[in-house]
Structure 1
């Protein structure tokens, strides 16, 4: 397991977006649904010792799901702007590697350079992070490091900010009473929706053969796990609230307890996976 670093400004951005929330991120962020894991594994059919490049890895949810499901996965490269997240990811992955290679690159995704340029990525993934990136530049980089048959998979399922259940709507309104109407984006300001869809980003890239897969997901949250999740987000991390954070968490616990049924808060989401290949690879 080895590490390398990109430009210092990327680390500052990682700190600005998510601060030092790696432990909460690892513990409370939802993992990758099993059907999506099977889809990703299937893209590597026939590749004897595949290499995975996971962009915006956070604490490594994608490789944590794929390593047990795909024993022949030989190499994992993790990329994130937040060094603390990468440290947590490398620690979490250690028991799963069983002799396989893992490297960490701290920097913006589009600046990634492989430590072994001769090893080409067979699968490039980006989960719940593509919106933070310079997407055309990321896809140009991917074209340089990907094997001819490689698949790029962009995936996600929104967040509790975007979910529209009664309890998430009430929780969002509570956050807004403390922080204002606009969604925070760490200490960088407020969040701006990407100007074009991920499908259009991919279609304009060398990986223009795009397919969409949608997997319904039902999650059962407990109030305390929602509180932990919020601490890991760019929109409700504790330092946004300063000395009012204890008061916010107390109100949030009361709100969530009022909505919970049998101690459970239900989230019905859709996990979407976009797979993209170079056109000649799809033929």
Structure 2
């Protein structure tokens, strides 16, 4: 794990502001149920690391929580979680999943824009906040400024990614990109009708330019495996290849996907090694 302490005025670093999506709640339309069924939970090393960032039991805000992929794992380890997402569909699936896992009382769900958490009535303060595989969908600077108002002194912000920036993607990723381009065109989509906005500045630089500029980074290798059915189902969890985005092209896309993947991997088992990353920001001690 690497650690760096910022110096000077953290807000003096120039960072391009992120574009806002007009309908953030619609980006993952139709993804709720597939997300619970096919998205892999975060590696235990990452979950264990997060549970030791604050006091026990910690009160933690999960922004862009989806159906609770990370929130419920943290709740199982004793954290008190408030999950925030712009998609009511995702939160509804999260409530069902929490009930199935006996965690209905452990997570509070709020359907709001993550950038407005400092204005939510009776939200209170938190020991920390996590943002897992969702930071790229948010107005990152606004979110971090809002968190500066609701995360207590000494608290943390943790940006979690299933794949560390600059590390290789799954070996089958280029095949999926070509198939999406064939069926949907060259541009990535943020849901059914909105182009995806590519960010100019990486997450770590944005955190360093925020009030949480004292940064530590954890990287952890892990193995991931899917059957053919699981890998096909996984595509319905992504905004750029969801059922809502594909529409009437879904059946043709899936048939093409199955044929292509079966050709390159007749065994039907797809395995890879990835490297997860956790970027943890805290305020300077002088604050």
**One fold, TM greater than 0.5?**
yes
Q: Could you tell me the TM-score, scaled by structure 1's length?
A: 0.85
Q: Is the 8 A contact 1:10 1:107 kept in 2?
A: no
Can you give the 5+ residue segments of structure 1 that lack an aligned partner in the other structure? 1-8
Select the residue among 273, 280, 283 that pairs with 1:268.
Answer: 273
> Residues 154-165 of structure 1: matches in 2 within 5 Å?
154-158=159-163, 164-165=169-170
- By how many angstroms is 1:228 displaced? 1.1
1:31 — aligned with what? Answer: 41
Displacement, 1:97?
Answer: 5.5
Partner of 1:144: 149
What residue is the counterpart of 2:14 in the other structure? Answer: none
Q: Distance in 1 between matches of 2:103 and 2:234?
A: 30
Residues 1:18 and 1:158: Cα distance change in structure 2 (over 3 Å)? farther
CA RMSD of aligned residues (A): 2.4
Q: Does 1:18 align with 2:23?
A: no
User: How far apart are the structure 2 equivalents of 1:31 and 1:101?
Assistant: 18
1:116 and 2:127 are equivalent in the alignment: no
Q: Offset of 1:99 from its aligned partner?
A: 7.4
Change (3 A) 1:269 1:200: same
- Aligned equivalents of 1:151, 1:123: Cα separation in 2: 5
- The more displaced of 234-243 and 211-220 is 234-243
Distance 1:238 1:57 in 2: 20
Q: Distance in 1 between matches of 2:251 and 2:138?
A: 32
Shift of the alpha carbon at 1:148? 1.0
Normalised by the size of structure 2, how large is the TM-score?
A: 0.84
CA distance 1:165–1:97, shift in 2 (3 Å): closer
Instruction: Sort the Cα spacing of 1:111 and 1:158 in 2 relative to 1 into closer, same or farther, 3 A.
Output: same
Do the aligned residues in 2 keep the contact of 1:11 with 1:107 (CA within 8 Å)?
A: no
Maintained 8 Å contact 1:11/1:81 = no
Note closer, same or farther for the CA distance 1:244–1:97 as it changes in structure 2 (3 Å cut): closer
Q: Quick one: distance in 1 between partners of 2:255 and 2:116? A: 41
Shift of 1:82: 0.5
Residue 209 of structure 2 corresponds to which residue in structure 1? 204
Give the 3 Å change call, closer, same or farther, for CA 254–36 of structure 1 in structure 2: same
Check 1:11–1:51 CA distance in 2 against 1; reply closer, same or farther (3 A cut): farther
- How many residues in Structure 1 have an aligned counterpart in Structure 2? 265
Segment drifting more, 195-204 vs 90-99: 90-99
Matches within 5 A, 1:54-73: 54-68=62-76, 70-71=77-78, 73=79
Moved over 4 A (4+): 95-101, 162-166
Alpha-carbon distance, 1:10 to partner? 8.3
For residues 249 and 210 of structure 1, the distance between their equivalents in structure 2, rounded to whole angstroms, comes to 42
- Give the Å deviation of 1:144: 0.7
Check 1:200–1:82 CA distance in 2 against 1; reply closer, same or farther (3 A cut).
same
Q: Give the Å deviation of 1:210.
A: 0.7
Q: Return the alpha-carbon distance in structure 1 between the equivalents of residues 159 and 233 of structure 2.
A: 25
Shift of 1:187: 3.0
Q: What is residue 104 of structure 1 aligned with on the other side?
A: 109
Q: Distance in 1 between matches of 2:41 and 2:51?
A: 16
Unaligned runs of 5+ in 2: 1-19
Distance 1:98 1:89, change over 3 A: closer
Q: Secondary structure at 1:187's aligned position in 2?
A: coil
Which one is further off, 78-87 or 236-245?
236-245
Instruction: Tell me the secondary structure at the aligned position of residue 173 of structure 1.
Output: helix
Alignment counterpart, residue 226 of structure 2, candidates 221, 224, 231? 221
